[in-house]
C-alpha cells in the first residue's frame, strides 16, 4: 500500500508533521495501532505526554484470546459463540454487543500476532475452578511490559515516531467537521502540529482525574463511603485527555460510571507499592486477602473469603458495605503464613508455599501507619477497630462452629479455608482494607470500526477511540468470566481502528 501523505514537514517556528494516522497515547491500544499502521504501509506518529511509552499497559499479566494457536496446541476448544453468550448474559445485554463481538472475534488473531512478534505464552490461567473456566486468559511471558517494548521497538524499526513529553491539547478540524489532526505541546513549550487522515484516541481513560471521577462515578460521593484507592502508577497520565478531546467535537459517551474494581488494598498510598514495593508490603497485601475472616464496619461477614481473587466481586461486595473491610486473624494463622505461606495467592506476587518471612515487619510498619492493629484479646482488638466487642466475638465463634463442621451455611466458604480461631489466647490482628480500582471503563461511544460517534449515533469523520477511551463495553461492573478482556480489548481495538482506517481512507488508492 502506498501512503498518500509524506513525513515529515518542518517549519521554522513550530514542528509540523504530515502523516496518515496520529495516535494519542502509547499504551497497549496506542502501540498496537501504531505497529499495525506501520505494517500496513502507513505513516503514523504517536504522541505521549509521559516521559516513556507504555502507560499502564506495562501491568497486565495476560490477555484474552479465543481460537489461538496456543489453545489449539493445548487442546482447548473454546468458541467465540460460547464466550460471547456468557459475557452478554453477565452484562444483561446492557452494553454494545456488536462491538464486543468484533473484539472477541479479533482476540485470537491478536494473540497470534503478538506471538509472531516473539511474545511467548506461559500458560492459560484462570481464577475459577477448571469446570467453570472459559480458558481464554493467556499469560504473557514478561507481561505487558514485554509487549509494550516489543511493539514500540518494532514500530520504530519500521520508521515510526513516538514523541514523549508531548501532550495533545486539541483536535484539529476543517469546516466540514472532519478531524484532520492534533495540536500538541512538547517539553520545550513548542507547538506541535500533526496533520493526519485520522486520529486515534488511546489515552487510557480517566482514573487519575478526581474531578471526572466525582462527576461520573456515583458512589464516590456517597455519604459514609470509605475513600476509593487507585491501584495505578505514581505518575499516571490517565486523566481523561482522550475523552475530553472527543467531547470537544461533540462525541457521545457511554458507561461512564463503570469502574474495574479490585480486591481490597491496604490503606497505604500509593497503592501500587503493594505490587512493586518492599517484600513486607507485598506480604501484608497478601495477608489482607487471606480467607480467615473478613468483616465489615459492623463486624459482620459480607463475602465468601475463599474467592478473594475474584476482584470485581470483592469490589462490589465492599461497595455494598461502605467501602471498607477488616481482615482478622490470630497468632496461629500469622505463624502459618510466615512458616508455610498463604492459603491463597496474591496474584503471582506471593503464592502458596512461599514463606511470608517479612510479615512481622509488615505488621509493625502497618501499626505505625494506622492500617494494622494488634491486641491481646478479641474484645481489645474490636475496640481498636471500632466494632462492638461482643459482635466481633460472636462472629468469630460462629466461624469456629462452621470450622468444626467444615461447612459454611452463610457464604459457602471452601471447607479447607474454614480454620478455627484460638479464642482463649492472643494476640489477634486486624488489617484495614479499602476498595481499590485500576481502570475506568466508560468512554467514547463507538461503532464496530472504532469510530467515535456523536449524540445522533453518527460517526465523527476522522476520529477513532480505542482501549479505555472507548465506552459501553461493560454494564455496571467489570467481569472476569472472560479473563483478560480489558487488555485484549485494548490491543484488538487498536488493530481494528487501523484496519478500518485502511478500508475507509486508503482502499480506493490501492
The residues pairing with 254 across neighbouring beta strands, listed in sequence order, are 443
221 occurs within a structural domain: no
Q: Domain check: are 447 and 406 in the same one? A: no
Q: How far apart are CA 375 and CA 378, in angstroms?
A: 7
- Domain end marker among 437, 463, 493: 437
Strand partners, 327: 294, 431
**Beta-strand pair 161-163/168-173:** unpaired
Strand boundaries in 334-378, DSSP class E: 372-375
| Assigned domain for 226 exists | no
Note whether 38 and 182 are same-domain residues: yes
CATH number for the domain that contains residue 321 = 3.90.700.10
Residues 335 and 445 in one domain: no
Domain end, chosen from 437, 459, 487, is at 437
- The secondary element (H helix, E strand) that includes residue 23 is strand 15-24
- CA-CA distance, 464 to 136, in Å (whole number)? 27
CA distances from 396 to 140, 198, 297, 382, 389 (A): 41, 61, 15, 11, 11
Q: What is the 3-state secondary structure (H, E, C) of 405-434?
A: HCCCCCCCCCHHHCCCCCCCCCCEEEEEEE
Cα dihedral 419/425/427/430 (nearest 10): 40
Domain boundary among 437, 453, 468: 437
Q: Pick from 428, 429, 400: which is nearest to 413 by CA?
A: 400
Q: CA 368, 372, 378, 381 torsion: positive or negative?
A: positive
Answer yes or no: is 365 within a domain. yes
Number of domains in the chain: 2
31 & 170 share domain: yes
Let me know if 101 is exposed, middle or buried by CB neighbors in 10 A (0-12, 13-18, 19+).
middle
Mark whether 425 and 467 lie in a shared domain.
no
Q: Do residue 172 and residue 69 come from a single domain?
A: yes
Q: Which three cell numbers stand for residue 293?
A: 475472616
* In-domain check, residue 461: yes
Domain residues for the domain of 249 are 20-205+240-257+441-509
Considering the domain architecture, whether residues 193 and 58 belong to the same structural domain is answered as: yes
pLDDT in tens, 60-101: 999 999 999 999 999 999 999 999 999 999 999 999 999 999
Residue 82 lies in a domain: yes
The reply to whether 249 and 305 lie within a common domain is no
CA distance 37 to 497: 9
CA 159, 160, 163, 164 torsion: positive or negative? negative
Q: Is residue 235 part of a domain?
A: no
pLDDT less than 70: residues of the chain = 1-13, 234, 508-510
Residue 352 has a CB neighbour count (10 Å cut-off) of 10
CATH, residue 91: 3.50.50.60
pLDDT tens for 376-387 read: 999 999 999 999
- In 10 A of CB 416, how many CB atoms? 10
The verdict on residue 218 lying in a domain is: no
- Same domain, residue pair 430 and 289: yes
Residues 271 and 405 placed together within one structural domain of the fold: yes
Query: Using CA atoms, how far apart are residues 377 and 397, in angstroms rounded to an integer?
Result: 14
- Determine, yes or no, domain membership for 222: no
- In this prediction, residue 508 carries a pLDDT of 56
150 and 89 co-located in one domain: yes
If asked whether residues 154 and 193 sit together in one domain, one would say: yes
Q: Residue 197 is inside which H or E element, if any?
A: strand 191-201
Amino acid at each position: 500500500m502506498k501512503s498518500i501523505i509524506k513525513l515529515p514537514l518542518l517549519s521554522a517556528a513550530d514542528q509540523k508533521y504530515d502523516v496518515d494516522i496520529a495516535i494519542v497515547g502509547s499504551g497497549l491500544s496506542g502501540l498496537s495501532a501504531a505497529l499495525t499502521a506501520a505494517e500496513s504501509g502507513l505513516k503514523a506518529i504517536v504522541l505521549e505526554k509521559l516521559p516513556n511509552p507504555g502507560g499502564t499497559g506495562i501491568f497486565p499479566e495476560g490477555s484474552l484470546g479465543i481460537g489461538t494457536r496456543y489453545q489449539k496446541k493445548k487442546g482447548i476448544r473454546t468458541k467465540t459463540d460460547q464466550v460471547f453468550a456468557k459475557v452478554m448474559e453477565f452484562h444483561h445485554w446492557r452494553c454494545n454487543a456488536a462491538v464486543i463481538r468484533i473484539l472477541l472475534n479479533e482476540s485470537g488473531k491478536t494473540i497470534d500476532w503478538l506471538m509472531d512478534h516473539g511474545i511467548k505464552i506461559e500458560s492459560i490461567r484462570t481464577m475459577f475452578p477448571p469446570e467453570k473456566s472459559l480458558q481464554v486468559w493467556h499469560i504473557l511471558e514478561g507481561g505487558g511490559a514485554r509487549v509494550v517494548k516489543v511493539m514500540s521497538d518494532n514500530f520504530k524499526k519500521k520508521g515510526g515516531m513516538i514523541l514523549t513529553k508531548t501532550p495533545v491539547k486539541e483536535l484539529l478540524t476543517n469546516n466540514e467537521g472532519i478531524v484532520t489532526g492534533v495540536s500538541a505541546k512538547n517539553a520545550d513549550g513548542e507547538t506541535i502540529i500533526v496533520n493526519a487522515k485520522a486520529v486515534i484516541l488511546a489515552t487510557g481513560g480517566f482514573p487519575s482525574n478526581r474531578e471526572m471521577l466525582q462527576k461520573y462515578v456515583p458512589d464516590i460521593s456517597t455519604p459514609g463511603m470509605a475513600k476509593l484507592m487507585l491501584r495505578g502508577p505514581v505518575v499516571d497520565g490517565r486523566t481523561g485527555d482522550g475523552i475530553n478531546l472527543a467531547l470537544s467535537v461533540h462525541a457521545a459517551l457511554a458507561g461512564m460510571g463503570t469502574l474495574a474494581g479490585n480486591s481490597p488494598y491496604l490503606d497505604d498510598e500509593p497503592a501500587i507499592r503493594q505490587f512493586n514495593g518492599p517484600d513486607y508490603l507485598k506480604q501484608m497485601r497478601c495477608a489482607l486477602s487471606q480467607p480467615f475472616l473478613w468483616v465489615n464496619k459492623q463486624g459482620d461477614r459480607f463475602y465468601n473469603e475463599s474467592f478473594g481473587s475474584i476482584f470485581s466481586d470483592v469490589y462490589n461486595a465492599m461497595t455494598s458495605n461502605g467501602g471498607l473491610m477488616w481482615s482478622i486473624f490470630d497468632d496461629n494463622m500469622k505463624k502459618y503464613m510466615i512458616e508455610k505461606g498463604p492459603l491463597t495467592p496474591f496474584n503471582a506476587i506471593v503464592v502458596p508455599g512461599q514463606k511470608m518471612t517479612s510479615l512481622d515487619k509488615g505488621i509493625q510498619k502497618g501499626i505505625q501507619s494506622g492500617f494494622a492493629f494488634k491486641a491481646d484479646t478479641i474484645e481489645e482488638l474490636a475496640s481498636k477497630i471500632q466494632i462492638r466487642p461482643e459482635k466481633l466475638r460472636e462472629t468469630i465463634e460462629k466461624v469456629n462452629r462452621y470450622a468444626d463442621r467444615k461447612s459454611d451455611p452463610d457464604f459457602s466458604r471452601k471447607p479447607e479455608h474454614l480454620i478455627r480461631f484460638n479464642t482463649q489466647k492472643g494476640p489477634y490482628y486486624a488489617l484495614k482494607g479499602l476498595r481499590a480500582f485500576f481502570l475506568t471503563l466508560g468512554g467514547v461511544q463507538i461503532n464496530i470500526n472504532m469510530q467515535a460517534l456523536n449524540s445522533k449515533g453518527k460517526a465523527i469523520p476522522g476520529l477513532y477511540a480505542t482501549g479505555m477511551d472507548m465506552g459501553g463495553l461493560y454494564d455496571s461492573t467489570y467481569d472476569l468470566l472472560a479473563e483478560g478482556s480489558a487488555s485484549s480489548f485494548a490491543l484488538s481495538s487498536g488493530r481494528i481502528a487501523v484496519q478500518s482506517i485502511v478500508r475507509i481512507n486508503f482502499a480506493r488508492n490501492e
